[in-house]
């Protein structure tokens, strides 16, 4: 059974710092991994999707990497800003059942001015 | 495109009442799904559908029914509401279940059962 873990649960950093959010999964036979952002009281916004054959994806100040063999993905945020404050979730679509996305519990990020 | 639209935004029910949460998408997505989000539990899959006429259970299907008569709509029915169903419900869709199909979410329905 696929399990997805995100550590730490919360993170507070000063503005301008580069930071890394972690996502680990137990079954390496994945189809893809997706990173989302959720603002308080809102829905989830897709940030990046990494296919199983890819090693990384980039969008602006965000870079997501994938290492299937170790069951890990990282989301790198460069030059963090207060507007980056949100909860970041990762989700995995497994090859064993592509109909199900399994989510981690998220990392809540606070960027202090 | 409006994307994924959920109605209502908020709902209060009494124990035992039934209701339907609506979800519609205008992106011609084959895959649609329902999640509930609870503090400390994260997002859990309730039901999903890979196309019109096809539905399947997720992690927490008890107490909920779904049907998919059209590509656009995927309603979630609560048969007899219980306080344990107090949660925020999200509908999500994607073009398919392939490697390059990102999931798109609606803005959620906040449900309280008293």
**pLDDT greater than 80 at residue B1:** no
> Contact B27/B36 with Cβ under 8 angstroms?
no
pLDDT band at A99 (very low <50, low <70, confident <90, very high): confident
Q: What is the pLDDT of residues B14-55, one digit of tens each?
A: 999 999 999 999 999 999 999 999 988 889 999 999 999 999
Report the pLDDT averaged over residues A58-79: 97
pLDDT over 70, % of chain A: 100
- What does the mean pLDDT of chain A come to? 95
Determine whether the interchain pair B92/A49 forms a contact, defined as Cβ–Cβ distance below 8 Å: no
State the pLDDT at residue A57: 96
Determine whether the interchain pair A34/B102 forms a contact, defined as Cβ–Cβ distance below 8 Å: yes
CA–CA gap between residue B37 and residue A77 (Å, rounded)? 25
pLDDT band at A51 (very low <50, low <70, confident <90, very high): very high
Q: What is the pLDDT of residues B81-94, one digit of tens each?
A: 999 999 999 999 99
Q: Give the DSSP H or E segment for A13.
A: strand A10-14
Tell me how many degrees the CA angle A37-A41-A47 measures, rounded to the nearest 5.
10
Q: Which among B44, B92, B99 is the nearest to A32, CB-wise? A: B99
State the pLDDT at residue B42: 86
CA–CA gap between residue B28 and residue A21 (Å, rounded)? 33
State the pLDDT at residue B39: 87
DSSP state of A98: T
Q: How far is A33 from chain B (nearest CA, A)?
A: 9
Report the pLDDT averaged over residues A49-77: 96
Structure tokens at A93: 């679509």
Q: How far is A104 from chain B (nearest CA, A)?
A: 7
State the pLDDT at residue A94: 86
In chain A, which residue's Cα lies nearest the Cα of B3?
A45
């Amino acid at each position: 059974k696929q399990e997805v873990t995100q550590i730490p649960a919360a993170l507070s950093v000063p503005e301008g710092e580069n930071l890394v959010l972690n996502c680990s999964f137990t079954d390496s036979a994945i189809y893809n991994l997706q990173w989302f952002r959720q603002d308080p009281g809102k829905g989830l916004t897709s940030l990046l999707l990494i296919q199983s054959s890819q090693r990384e994806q980039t969008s602006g100040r965000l870079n997501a990497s994938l290492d299937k063999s170790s069951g890990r993905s990282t989301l790198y945020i460069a030059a963090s800003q207060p507007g980056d404050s949100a909860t970041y979730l990762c989700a995995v679509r497994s090859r064993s059942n592509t109909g199900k996305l399994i989510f981690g519990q998220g990392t809540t990020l606070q960027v202090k001015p | 495109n409006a994307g994924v639209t959920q109605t209502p935004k908020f709902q209060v029910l009494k124990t035992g009442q039934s209701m339907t949460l609506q979800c519609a998408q205008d992106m011609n997505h084959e895959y649609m799904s329902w999640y509930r989000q609870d503090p400390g539990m994260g997002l859990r899959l309730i039901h999903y559908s890979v196309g019109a006429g096809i539905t399947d259970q997720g992690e927490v299907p008890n107490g909920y029914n779904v049907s998919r008569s059209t590509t656009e709509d995927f309603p979630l029915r609560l048969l007899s509401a219980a306080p344990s169903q107090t949660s925020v419900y999200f509908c999500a869709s994607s073009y398919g279940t392939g490697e390059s199909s990102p999931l798109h979410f609606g803005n959620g329905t906040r449900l309280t059962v008293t």
